[in-house]
Structure 1
Amino acid sequence: MGSLEQRLIGLFRRLFRSTITGYLTLLFGLASLGLVFGYASASMYGVEHGINLIAYWHIPLALVGGVALTVTFAGCVLFLVTGTRFWEQLAHASGEIGFIFATLTLVTGSAWGRVIWNTWWDWSDIRLVTFLFVWFIYAGYLLIYSSAGGSGRVSRLASVYGVVGFITVPISYASTRLWTTRLHAPSIGNPDAEAAISASVLLVSLVAFLLLYVYLLGSRVRLHALTTRVSELKNRSQTETYKSTEAN
């Protein structure tokens, strides 16, 4: 392991052990709740309805979910290049969280769309369809990884899958600008957007979900490391017991 890689892994581990992230997650989470229910307008797309407030969590879930899947991609690449187990564990942990965030994005988006667009789902909308592809791709990644059972070959296969499957993520996030979409018109940098979303409230919610992601990622990576350590001790104990039996 190179010195640069050692320093980078050490930086990640210090970040994941820090208690500051947890406190900041709680602080910004409470701020997001207070601003959404106490300040943000419930009027969007010409519709006055409380369901519009879900936008302040739906959008951050989608954005931070994309960040999580990007970290999975980077972790898979680094594991394939270096063979260091930490990157594999980071990729898998981030993939789990990204998949959860993607699932919540689909659920909250469907609930929001049912009121605003009068439909739970529209197969003609390119953003919805491409994001569903992302969901299936990473469900496959988690299934392949879970079948590894400590096998290096299967772990590398899961990492290759994580690298190749990542192409669906930028395609989905850029789809509203690459193709004409029925429901999801670009809102950032688009003066004709109909959604009247408070940028300040959205930013606080985005930071809250980003901090939540980092906190959950740290917890999951530490659990991965603990599980690996326990497995190593168990295997060592079994080996020593076998050698002792052979000697007797």
Structure 2
Amino acid sequence: MGSFERKTIALFRRLFRSSLSGYVALLTGLVSIGLVFGYASDSMYGVDHGINLIAYWHVPLALVGGLALTVTFAGCVLYLVTGTRFWEHLAHASGELGFIFATLTLVTGSAWGRVIWNTWWDWSDIRLVTFLFVWFIYAGYLIIYSGAGAGARVSRLASVYGVVGFVTVPISYASTRLWTARLHAPSVGNPDAEAAISAEVLLVSLVAILFLYVYLLGSRVRLHELTTRIDAMKTRHKRETYKSAEGD
């Protein structure tokens, strides 16, 4: 492990040990709830309905979910290059959170779409279909990684899968600009967008979910490292017990 890598990992560990991200997530989360229910308009796409308020969490969940899967990709690449277990732990922890955020994105999007577009799901919508594909890809990554206890070979296989599978993420997020969107027309940089989302409220919600991700990521990575140390102690104890038994 090089000096730069050690310093980078040490920086990450200091960040993950800090409780600041948790406090910021809690504070901005409470502010987000207050703004969504007390300030934001529930009128979107020509429909006045309370379900529209779910957009202020649906959109940040999708964005932070994409960020989490990008971190997984970076962690997989770094693990394959360096073989350092920290990057493997970071990739898997972020992959778990990205998968959870992707699941919540699909659930909240379906609930929102049921009212706005009168359908839970539409197979002709390119964003829905590509995002579901991303969900299946990362479900596969987590399934493969669950067998990583078998050794480094499985860990490397999961990392290769995480690198290759990442191609689906940018395709999904760019899908509405690459192909004609039936339901999810681009709202950013699109003057004809019908959704009237308050940028200020959306930003607060985005910050809240982003810091929640950082807090959960740190907790999960620390748990990974603790589990690794315990497993190493168990293995060492078994070896010492075996040698002691041979000596007798």
Structure 1 distance, partners of 2:148, 2:204, is: 39
The reply to whether residue 230 of structure 1 matches residue 230 of structure 2 is yes
Q: Specify the code of the residue in structure 1 equivalent to 2:164.
A: V
| C-alpha deviation, 1:196, in angstroms | 0.2
Q: Specify the code of the residue in structure 2 equivalent to 1:45.
A: Y
Q: Which moved more, 1:19-28 or 1:136-145?
A: 19-28
The reply to whether residue 27 of structure 1 matches residue 38 of structure 2 is no
> What per-residue deviation string (whole Å, max 9, x for no partner) do you get for residues 109-148 of structure 1?
0000000000000000000000000000000000000012
- In structure 1, stretches of 5+ residues that fail to align are none
Structure 1 distance, partners of 2:22, 2:112, is: 29
Question: Following superposition, which runs of at least 4 residues in structure 1 exceed 2 angstroms of deviation?
Answer: none
SS in 1 for 2:137: helix
Structure 2 distance, partners of 1:77, 1:101, is: 22
1:63 is aligned to 63
1:104 is aligned to 104
The reply to whether residue 44 of structure 1 matches residue 44 of structure 2 is yes
The reply to whether residue 194 of structure 1 matches residue 194 of structure 2 is yes
2:145 is aligned to 145
Structure 2 distance, partners of 1:125, 1:201, is: 27
Q: Specify the code of the residue in structure 2 equivalent to 1:152.
A: A
Q: TM-score, normalised by structure 1?
A: 0.99
> What per-residue deviation string (whole Å, max 9, x for no partner) do you get for residues 161-199 of structure 1?
000000000000000000001000000010000000000
1:120 is aligned to 120
Q: Specify the code of the residue in structure 1 equivalent to 2:27.
A: L
* Pairs within 5 Å for 1:123-138: 123-138=123-138
- In structure 2, stretches of 5+ residues that fail to align are none
Q: Specify the code of the residue in structure 1 equivalent to 2:28.
A: F
Structure 2 distance, partners of 1:29, 1:221, is: 23
SS in 1 for 2:76: helix
The reply to whether residue 245 of structure 1 matches residue 245 of structure 2 is yes
What percentage of residue pairs aligned between the two structures are identical?
Answer: 83
Question: Aligned residue pairs: how many?
Answer: 248
SS in 2 for 1:108: helix
SS in 2 for 1:189: coil
Q: Specify the code of the residue in structure 2 equivalent to 1:225.
A: E
| C-alpha deviation, 1:17, in angstroms | 0.2
The reply to whether residue 179 of structure 1 matches residue 185 of structure 2 is no
| C-alpha deviation, 1:241, in angstroms | 0.4
Structure 1 distance, partners of 2:7, 2:39, is: 43
Structure 1 distance, partners of 2:35, 2:57, is: 12
Q: Specify the code of the residue in structure 1 equivalent to 2:192.
A: D
Structure 2 distance, partners of 1:152, 1:125, is: 40
Structure 2 distance, partners of 1:19, 1:118, is: 43
| C-alpha deviation, 1:203, in angstroms | 0.2
Q: TM-score, normalised by structure 2?
A: 0.99
SS in 2 for 1:180: coil
SS in 2 for 1:124: coil
SS in 1 for 2:186: coil
> What per-residue deviation string (whole Å, max 9, x for no partner) do you get for residues 17-53 of structure 1?
0011111111011011010001000000000000000
| C-alpha deviation, 1:149, in angstroms | 1.4
Structure 1 distance, partners of 2:66, 2:19, is: 25
- CA RMSD in angstroms, aligned pairs only: 0.5
2:10 is aligned to 10
| C-alpha deviation, 1:150, in angstroms | 4.3
Structure 2 distance, partners of 1:18, 1:147, is: 31
Structure 1 distance, partners of 2:197, 2:211, is: 21
